[in-house]
Amino acid sequence: MLRTRLNASQLQRPEYQSAAKWAAISFLLLALLLAVVGIFIASWAGLLIGFVFVPILLLGVPLACWRTVLVIAPDRVFRHVVLRKPHEALLGRFHVPLSVDSRYFLCSPSFPKSIVWRSLQTISLVFLLASVATPVLSATRNAMTEESWFFSLALLALSLVMPFIALLWLYEDSGVRVYDKEVGTISKVGTWVQQFIFGTGVATSFVKFTLSVQGGTIPQVALATVLFTVLIPPCLVVTVVFHRNLQPMFVNRFLASASAGALEREDIVLAPRS
């Protein structure tokens, strides 16, 4: 079976370069803001914490987790989860529509022309999980406590949950598709996962969380502003760095794996990807 090897130069499109520029600018502005706040709070120690430690926490930890998962998991998850489908019995209880007659195959690997949608997926998942989990885990409903819980849970979502969504992106970019023989459709791996996560009212959940914070309108607006300011830049940067610097390597590794080698290869024409 022929395998297509991708080169990193295939990702150096103007759209990717523009996304990288704006993501870098947003994070640089955030780092400068944190440094200024750090100086006012704890002088030079605050500057060090705001300009060095916090950016490492917001970028270094998530990127290390993404890389670790995507080095270890792609072939194992595909063989033991995607192909064997041990999760379908559980999904059936929640009335998730599943195909009883489907097969996986490989088409030509490709990358999306724009990563705007995937960046929105990252932001959506991070804010959704933190918005839902914070009221459950936080015992105090004041803005300071809620902010700490939300930030911690958002960082956990970005570091430990998003890598598995990136795993679905990896399969998609590698050219893995599933053919449903019952209805005659071709779709991406894990389409139902993305539809479920990104169709459950992220904005509604975040607004409900914000309004549940005690103290009135001003603390609620301030909390929402701080969370957007601190969390959106790292979500953008991690997504951009993954696509520009890591994804070609992981696609090549998966295409050289036993899982990809066992799949039939078919040439199909897909609608343009955005």
Q: What is the pLDDT of residue 5?
A: 56
pLDDT confidence band for 1 (50 / 70 / 90)? very low
Whole-angstrom distance, CA of residue 222 vs CA of residue 236: 22
- Considering the chain, what percentage of its residues have pLDDT values greater than 70? 80
Residue with the bigger pLDDT between 254 and 54: it is 254
Rounded to 5°, angle at Cα 215 from 158 and 133: 25
pLDDT tens-digit map of 110-137:
888 888 889 999 999 999 999 999 988 8
pLDDT tens-digit map of 70-92:
999 999 998 888 877 666 565 55
pLDDT tens-digit map of 195-224:
767 666 788 899 999 988 887 888 889 899
Q: What is the mean pLDDT of the chain?
A: 81
Contact indicator for 119, 239 with CB cutoff of 8 Å: yes
Q: What is the pLDDT of residue 11?
A: 47
- Predicted TM-score (pTM) of the model is 0.83
Residue with the bigger pLDDT between 36 and 171: it is 171
